[in-house]
Amino acid sequence: MQSNEIKHIFLVSSTDYFSPLFIDALIEKAGINHETLGVVIFGCGDIESQYPKKIDGVTYFSYEKVNNSIFLNASTITYFSLSALNSAQIREVLELSPQMKSKCYMFITDDEVDRWLWCKDKHGRLVADVKLNITENDLWVLSQQEQFIALNSAFREKLSQVLERCDFCLVDSSVVFDTLPTKSAETLAISVYADEKNKKKSILLGTKPNAFKYQNIKAMLRAFIKAGVHTEYKFVVMWPVKQWRKRLLLDLYLTYLQKIKKQTVDVSVITSLPPLAYTAVVMSCTHLVLQPRGGASTARQLMKWGQGKVYVAKGSHNELFFKDAQNVELCSFSTFDELASSLGKQIDVKANASKINAEEQRSLQELATLYS
């Protein structure tokens, strides 16, 4: 397709993980014509050979080689998050013309919003901060940004606080993509539903490596033993492959429990997995102990498919996001002892699934309007 026929441009880093899933969802779930979508990638040499996440029917361009007319002629330009990784390129696009601001959309995640709020708490205002991954380009982009894509109930107040203004527009959409491309997710879901009756009681402790510190993992296991529930469940922990010392400490602790305390705890330690295997592991679990922030996409997927209960610390960002913004039922805890004692709490996982699917459909309608 000719670049002047493409209506919607996505400006993404070659290392970005979420943009292919988002674009896939627009095509497969919202019914957006793939021929109207173009992806401009920066940080990648040869797109054909070095960017494996291409979607059939979507046109891809190298940022370093593309003509500026593709941005000037587009109806919308979307970028994902804001950090030192992409703010320089976003600024260059916004500076092409005064009219660019009205059609440039920033997809918001809790990561950057939290960094901005921490910056304001630390300095009293937004400033460049290396430790918080905030640059002068970030600040300039934020001063110009008018359009955001985010769940209104979860992010409008925070954005107003960060920007110290209310003259911005919000496309009221929550996450609409799964942890896998749509067709792969649908195929896996068939197997997951068919095998529901064979699921064993198992608890996933965090959604990614380093979701919880070693001391927290140890404290959770100790609480499960204290409550006498450790024999009923299998535990799954994700561990960074390079942190072998802490892995060794965990193995030594499990050996200590078995040999000295005569307590056998069934713990599986997993390092990195490809998306399909990762999602399959998550769906094999009946419980997820979600870290205070991050991992919302995984928790959402577990609940969307009605496969398990989610536990999260009281007052955490994730509790507020799911309970207040998504209106789903979680199991909240203040201590690990409280967590261990509430594993048998009754949660209507099917009702949660219905709510999340309904919210996804509502959000897809919002996005379909934007990208029509």
Segment 175-195, tens digit of pLDDT: 999 999 999 999 999 999 999
By the 8 A CB rule, do 155 and 326 touch?
no
Task: Check whether 169 has a pLDDT greater than 90.
Answer: yes
What is the per-residue pLDDT for 62?
Answer: 93
Residue 267 to residue 220: CA distance in whole angstroms: 12
Domains and CATH numbers, the chain: 3-178+361-370 (3.40.50.2000), 182-360 (3.40.50.2000)
- Cross-strand bridge partners of residue 170: 148
Residue 332 to residue 315: CA distance in whole angstroms: 9
What is the per-residue pLDDT for 17?
Answer: 86
- The number of helix segments (H) and strand segments (E) in the chain equals 15, 13
Q: What is the DSSP letter of 217?
A: H
Report how far apart the first and last C-alpha atoms of the chain are (Å, whole number): 17
Residue range 297-344, pLDDT digits in tens = 999 999 999 999 999 999 998 998 898 778 899 999 999 999 999 999
What is the per-residue pLDDT for 242?
Answer: 84
What is the per-residue pLDDT for 45?
Answer: 73
Give the chain's largest Cα–Cα span: 71
Integer angstrom CA distances of residue 263 from 257, 259, 287, 309: 5, 8, 21, 26
What is the per-residue pLDDT for 110?
Answer: 83
Residue 142 to residue 134: CA distance in whole angstroms: 11
| 90-115 exposure pattern, b = at least 16 Cβ within 10 A, e = fewer | bbebbeeeeebeebbbbbbbbebbeb
